[in-house]
Amino acid sequence: MSRRRSKRIHPYLISLPLVIFLIVALYSPVLVLVRFSLAVKPGWEQTLSYVWSIVNYQRFFFDPDLDAYRVSLLKTLGVALLVTLICLMIGYPFAYFLARKTLRFKTLLTLLCLFPYLTGYIIRIYAWRILLGSGGVINYALQSIGLIKEPITALLYSPFSVIIVLVYLYLPTFTFPIYISLEKLRADLVEAAEDLGADRIRTFFRVTLPLTSPGILVGGLIVFPAITASYVEASMVGGGELRMMFGSVIQSIFFISYDFAMGSAASAVLLAIVITACMLLIRAVRIEDIFKVR
């Protein structure tokens, strides 16, 4: 035993590159963000004055002139929640299909979900304009079979288009962790439940769903935060109530007003909300559990 131990490389040495990388690329920038958010931008100058002040946060939450920020934040969180739920409704059965019904085409069918990613983020949004536009594919098809006379303009530049595009962008990301946890689920547990007389629906809700919930959680942890700060979709296909997401607000504070202090404060608020939500969820389950055979 002691012989074996002495030959082992110390775990600190193995994880050292990763730890250094995280200190440089994650923790330092987060500290800088927090420090900026507590600084003040004096007048029209672009440089910050490095005092310690919570004025940016006060303004963010209470300044009546900044109502738009708070409304946009709430709307964005709502959209993110809605899109995550839709992804769950579609992603779970789809993951179930990939795990259970694909047989020897499993690898191919699973990889097929990844290929659309290769066209790039912007192109994937852009393609939906062709599908949803008033001269677009869907309207054209509906018109040519005589279902509608005038093109449905509400398909594009509306909350509907933002939501459908977001679901499109994040569905595969959500599906994979669920797929993994379904693969990890031992078939004999399901069989045992069925042998003991539970019907399929009961088995699903009492055995399969609870045991695969870590996969759902991880999917949600990846998709929800990503949506809260996405602004490109809304500016390309958005309209009506969803002309602008909170990401656009942050972006405009930084690169239109050049107020890095306020921008950092807005980013920090978003980050705090997202991380708190994730921490509350994570407490319910251990990350390692999704990979354990159950």
Interface with another protein in residues 102-161 (CB under 8 A): 106-108, 110-124, 126-131, 133, 135-137, 140
Binding part of the chain for another protein, among 38-46, 61-69, 206-214, 247-255 by CB under 8 A, reads 247-255
* Cα–Cα distance for residue pair 278/224, rounded to 1 Å: 9
Q: Please, which residue, 158 or 277, has the CB nearer to another protein?
A: 277
Asked whether the beta carbons of 140 and 146 are under 8 A apart, the reply is: no
Answer yes or no whether residue 69 interacts with another protein by CB under 8 A.
no
Q: What is the dihedral of CA 227, 233, 239, 243, to 10 degrees?
A: 60
Asked whether the beta carbons of 139 and 145 are under 8 A apart, the reply is: no
Binding part of the chain for another protein, among 64-72, 153-161, 191-199, 264-272 by CB under 8 A, reads 264-272
Least Å distance between CB 145 and another protein? 13
Answer yes or no whether residue 267 interacts with another protein by CB under 8 A.
yes
Taking residues 274 to 293 in sequence order and writing x for each that binds another protein by CB under 8 A, - otherwise, the string is xx--x--------xx-xxx-
Residues 43-62 that bind another protein (CB under 8 A): none
Q: Please, which residue, 64 or 222, has the CB nearer to another protein?
A: 222
Residues 74-103 that bind another protein (CB under 8 A): 90, 93-94, 96-98, 101
Q: Please, which residue, 17 or 146, has the CB nearer to another protein?
A: 17
Q: Which of 159, 172, 214, 238 binds another protein (CB under 8 A)?
A: 172
Least Å distance between CB 64 and another protein? 26
Residues 216-235 that bind another protein (CB under 8 A): 218, 221-222, 225-226, 228-232
Q: Please, which residue, 69 or 128, has the CB nearer to another protein?
A: 128
User: How many chain residues touch another protein (CB under 8 A)?
Assistant: 96
Q: Is 120 left (phi over 0), alpha (psi -120 to 50) or beta?
A: left
Residues 1-20 that bind another protein (CB under 8 A): 4, 7-9, 11-12, 14-15, 17-19
Q: Please, which residue, 45 or 64, has the CB nearer to another protein?
A: 45
